[in-house]
Amino acid sequence: MRKHLLTVLLLCLLHVGVQAQAPKREFRGAWIATYANIDWPNRSQTPAQQQAALISILNHHQATGINAIFLQVRSQSDALYLSNLEPISADLNGVQGRPSSPAWDPLRFALEESHKRGMELHAWINPYRAIANVNGLSAFAENHVAKQHPDWLIASGTLRTLDPGLPQVRDHILTVIADIVERYDLDGIHFDDYFYPNAAFNDDATYNAYSRGIADRADWRRDNVNLLIQRVHDTIEVLKPWVKFGVSPSGIYRNSTNPAIGTNTSGLQHYVSLYADSRKWLQEGWVDYLAPQVYWFIGQGGANYSVIVPWWNNNAYGRHIYIGLAGYKVNDPAQGANWANPSQIPNQVRLNRSLPNVYGQAIYNTSSLRSTTKLGFRDSLRTNFYAKPALLPNMPWRDNTPPPAPAGLVASRFSPDSVSLAWSPAPASSAEVDKVVRYVVYRSESPAFDITNAEQLLAITPTATNSFRDKVPDAAKTYYYVVTAVDRFHNESAPSNVTDYTAPVLACLAPQTLALSASCAAQVPDYTSLISVTDDVSADSAITWQQSPAAGTLVSGVGTFSVTITATDASGKSASCTFSVEKQDVTAPTFMLAVAQNVSLQSNCELVVPDFITGLTGTDNCGQITFTQSPEAGTVLASGHGQKHVVTITAQDGNGNFSERTVTLNALDTTPPTLFTQHITRTLRNGTVTITAAEVNNGSYDNCALDEASFTLSQSTFTCANLGENTVTFTAMDENGNQASVSATITIVGAIPAPAIAVSRQDQTYTGLPANTIALGYGAQSLTLTATNGTSAPGLTTYTWTSAAGLSTTTGGTTVFTPSAAGTYTFTVQATNEYGCSETTQVTVEVIDVRCGNKGDKVQVCHATGNNGANVLCIAPAAVPAHLKNGGSLGTCGLAASQTQAAVAVAPVLTAFPNPFEDQLTVSFTLDTPEQNVSLELFDLYGQKVQHVYTGSVEANRTYSFQLDPHPLSGKFYFVRLVTPTKVHTFKLSRK
């Protein structure tokens, strides 16, 4: 209900605001449908009768106020004109392809008759429809495209349509259109709403052959139509650039609640159903106009006229929108009660006129305009909306150059109530687009014309004639006239001279001003040259002028006087006008002042404005001077370093003349901020901690404004490498760019793990081997590896073992190594403490295989024979202790030497001795690869750095030793840390 009330309110507003006001430019079209003889011609009539019927239609349209005709000349790939490309339409005489007798050209005849009546004619073409009903194909001419190229057709029910996806179809249509454009003096080419069929059809073969890489079938079909639209535009532009091109699609583009997509409707949408992307044609500028067929009533559910038309107005993209109106539905019982409303069409016109991008409308069809059963809507157009003639809208994107103005307009009284006008034609142009095609006559009761006012538009000549006769509404009044010229694109020239049939007409001056000199005096100018005069019998050179007071008369002092101008034509008729002249003192006072001054800022960055006007003097020849200053002296202004403040000094005399000078005050601030910091202590978490500059700040300030966004720290992220006190630089700037820096102390709490690995075994059988050696086949067959961290309390350290071969677990402080084969096994444990800091250490285990015998149940020993001799025995396990006691060893002879070498090979990277230490301490390390940057440092148990030992590069396999002074070391436990680019090594120390 609310929606309907809004529609009623809209109609009321339109009725009040639009009815009394007709536009100067408006497209007022009508369709003449020839398919199935809907409007014309009657196929049973003779050519002479058909011509007479068309003249009757055109006369009727002219009387209605129609200024453009859409004549259907190709309804189903035929021709309502003489053509060598397609057969003559059966709508002309009943038989397709049979010439009329006597032969005549309906399109040429319609063009001539329309142009005689000042109406444009657009050739209405259905580009794709080939056969409206295939059941009638046998009656088609042999040269019809359906018989010549049946492979070009797509079938949809009984309808046969030229396949838009075929390049040869586009070429054929373009050939037909080019032929029409080249041979006929058309004003436009017009397509209707038939594109792809609105029903099922099969174009698979065409798509497979010509898809052009477009994956979506619907997009491809729309692109096929786009290709034709663009080529038609380009073809017309080349052949005859003054011929317009437009399309009248169905009224709904797309149904959508989103206005960026379409209208809130539910009707046929030609974008989806007919594959016609009409909005793209507007966006690309391929059409000059779109005339959507909005054949619904205002307020209609699913297709509301008052919703659809504003949407088209908002999507014009700089082109013209003409709305197609359904005159044929008026008073048709089948259309319902809303079409029985005689105001339906008038209200639609009112709505159209309220929208800036809707430039007019066209009525479908001609028969509805001529019918006596359509509730007189045609009379509403004729006597109301179209009562005043209207120029067609111009198209500046095609041509915006107006023709030259006509000249020599002369009016003479033909009879007491009739005036005859004649003028010299506008200069001829060789360019067809610039040729004058008609003239516009304006009439007014005043010589001051406004040709933008449609009320002054009297008539538009149907052709380029240079005369017109006017029957005046009141013979007792004097009327004035001007004439303009119009070219093919309806660009309008400047107006001609103004004429009437009485005495000269003066366009008097508005009140004038006269500037007094420095002595307060001036001479009266010659105003006659500023007055424009129009006379129908005398040229400008024949007009004599008189001015009072005369030019050159000296006047003085401020005030007003009157000047009278009299113009007399050659016949002695005179006209006068009087205007006022105000004498004005326009000389401003003068004074001198400096242009700039530096001013020091006060506290809080404030500036005090100085006094510039005390003692200031100036000169003025006509009165006293008053000085003012803005801002006033003593005004306190918020400021900042480098900020400029402008003080304006104004001098004004008694007649209101004034002059101004400005002084620029330059504010200076050079004081940097005052910075305060606080000591920050943070504990590592997950091996890192981040501290912001704002946390370090402790009440820093600036006399103007401190820029807190400028706060920076030289270091903000701290890791396990930064334990203990760290000195950073806190820097800040004020908003004027002054900078200050101070040091701050940041203490990082944490510790570096000091991992160690203990090797033990549960089987204590003596083997004579090192503690880290297992003999497969004798004694302990597994070792227990226990990791500890000397810098953390138990339970706060996590351990990870690598490699995993032979280990019972890779996590936890204890793991059991049980080998399955002989070899050298190196295990690394990584200890990660509660602060997220990690360190590793290694242990190497040697495994030898001493099993022998056929069953592997005996033990291989090296038996000493004296005199440094030895031999290998394979004995029972019970006999092994005696041999070991007597100097024998497990395994082959010479194994002890290799075990010693292996022990040397796995010597630790980092070591210190003595450990525990007392009065001396040496730290040494050896790396197996060269490094450019390593550091060696000493830390206490709590992660506090005690001493920096070395920073620099090292060579591979070279041992570096450093003597440390242990006397300052008062604690019990310490560790040294060696940091390389790829690894951190630690070694735990203890004091005796």
* DSSP string across 801-833: EE--TTBS-SBSSEEEE--SS-EEEEEEEEEE-
Phi, psi for residue 87 in degrees, rounded to 5: -70, 155
Q: Is residue 397 part of a domain?
A: no
Residue where a domain stops, chosen among 585, 611, 646: 585
pLDDT of residue 602: 82
> If we measure between CA atoms, which residue out of 171, 319, 180 comes closest to residue 236?
180
pLDDT of residue 981: 85
Residue type, 711: F
pLDDT of residue 11: 46
Q: Is residue 673 part of a domain?
A: no
CB 105 within 8 A of CB 162: no
**Could you tell me which residues come within 8 angstroms of residue 360 by beta carbon, excluding any fewer than 6 positions away?**
26, 27, 28, 29, 320, 322, 323, 352, 393
**Could you tell me which residues come within 8 angstroms of residue 455 by beta carbon, excluding any fewer than 6 positions away?**
388
Q: Is residue 492 part of a domain?
A: no
Q: Are residues 185 and 159 in the same domain?
A: yes
Residue type, 281: W
CB 251 within 8 A of CB 295: yes
What value, to the nearest 5°, has the Cα angle with vertex 116 and ends 112 and 120?
Answer: 75
Find the DSSP H helices in 627-761. Answer: 693-696
Query: In CATH, what number is assigned to the domain containing residue 571?
Result: 2.60.40.10
Token look-up 């903000």 returns 716
pLDDT along the chain (992 residues), means of 10: 42 46 94 98 98 98 98 98 98 96 97 98 98 97 98 98 98 98 98 96 98 98 98 98 98 98 98 98 98 98 98 98 98 97 98 98 98 96 97 97 94 90 92 95 93 95 96 92 96 92 83 88 92 75 89 91 84 76 89 88 87 89 87 90 91 87 89 92 94 93 90 94 92 92 94 89 89 91 92 92 90 93 92 93 91 90 73 90 87 60 51 88 92 90 82 92 90 85 82 82
Q: Are residues 759 and 745 in the same domain?
A: no
- Cross-strand partners of 831: 799, 839
Spatial separation of the C-alpha atoms in residues 715 and 172, rounded to whole Å: 78
Spatial separation of the C-alpha atoms in residues 873 and 862, rounded to whole Å: 6
- pTM (2 d.p.): 0.56
Q: Are residues 600 and 515 in the same domain?
A: no
Annotate 541-604 with DSSP letters as a single string.
GG-EEEEESPTT-EEESSEEEEEEEEEE-TTS-EEEEEEEEEEEE-PPPB----SEEEEE--GG
Token look-up 């509301």 returns 304
Spatial separation of the C-alpha atoms in residues 170 and 173, rounded to whole Å: 5
Tokens of 684: 């590592």
- Rounded to 10°, the helix 344-353/305-314 angle is 20
Bridging pattern class, strands 68-74 and 120-125: parallel
Cis before 966 (ω within 30): no
Q: Is residue 264 part of a domain?
A: yes
Bridging pattern class, strands 244-247 and 289-290: parallel
Q: What is the CA radius of gyration of the chain?
A: 53
Spatial separation of the C-alpha atoms in residues 319 and 287, rounded to whole Å: 8
Q: Are residues 337 and 453 in the same domain?
A: no
Q: Is residue 392 part of a domain?
A: no
Q: Are residues 544 and 565 in the same domain?
A: yes
pLDDT of residue 904: 34
Spatial separation of the C-alpha atoms in residues 519 and 517, rounded to whole Å: 5
Q: Is residue 772 part of a domain?
A: yes
pLDDT of residue 128: 98
Q: Is residue 284 part of a domain?
A: yes
**Could you tell me which residues come within 8 angstroms of residue 676 by beta carbon, excluding any fewer than 6 positions away?**
697, 698, 699, 700, 742
Q: Are residues 573 and 626 in the same domain?
A: no
pLDDT of residue 867: 63
Residue type, 366: T
**Could you tell me which residues come within 8 angstroms of residue 55 by beta carbon, excluding any fewer than 6 positions away?**
113
Exposed e or buried b per residue across 35-60, where buried means at least 16 C-beta atoms within 10 angstroms of its C-beta: beebbbbebeeebeebbeebeebbeb
The number of domains in the chain is 7
- Rounded to 10°, the helix 217-239/167-183 angle is 30
Q: Are residues 872 and 776 in the same domain?
A: yes
Burial environment of residue 65 by CB neighbours within 10 A (0 to 12, 13 to 18, 19 or more): buried
Q: Are residues 105 and 167 in the same domain?
A: yes
Spatial separation of the C-alpha atoms in residues 491 and 608, rounded to whole Å: 63
Q: Are residues 375 and 262 in the same domain?
A: yes
- Residue 842 structural domain: 755-905
E-assigned strands of 722-782?
Answer: 724-734, 739-749, 755-760, 773-776
pLDDT of residue 913: 84
Spatial separation of the C-alpha atoms in residues 284 and 518, rounded to whole Å: 62
Tokens of 557: 């002092």
Write the secondary structure of 543-560 as one string of H (helix), E (strand) and C (coil). CEEEEECCCCCEEECCEE
Q: Are residues 791 and 685 in the same domain?
A: no
> If we measure between CA atoms, which residue out of 730, 775, 787, 984 comes closest to residue 890?
775
Q: Are residues 580 and 703 in the same domain?
A: no
Q: Any idea what DSSP says for residue 500?
A: -
Q: Is residue 674 part of a domain?
A: no
> If we measure between CA atoms, which residue out of 278, 166, 280, 286 comes closest to residue 236?
286
Q: Are residues 914 and 850 in the same domain?
A: no
pLDDT of residue 486: 97
pLDDT of residue 303: 98
Bridging pattern class, strands 512-516 and 574-585: parallel
Torsion of CA 935, 941, 943, 945, to 10 degrees: -50
E-assigned strands of 176-235?
Answer: 188-191
Query: In CATH, what number is assigned to the domain containing residue 614?
Result: 2.60.40
Query: In CATH, what number is assigned to the domain containing residue 325?
Result: 3.20.20.80
Spatial separation of the C-alpha atoms in residues 467 and 480, rounded to whole Å: 15
Spatial separation of the C-alpha atoms in residues 263 and 277, rounded to whole Å: 14
CB-CB neighbours of 521 under 10 Å: 12
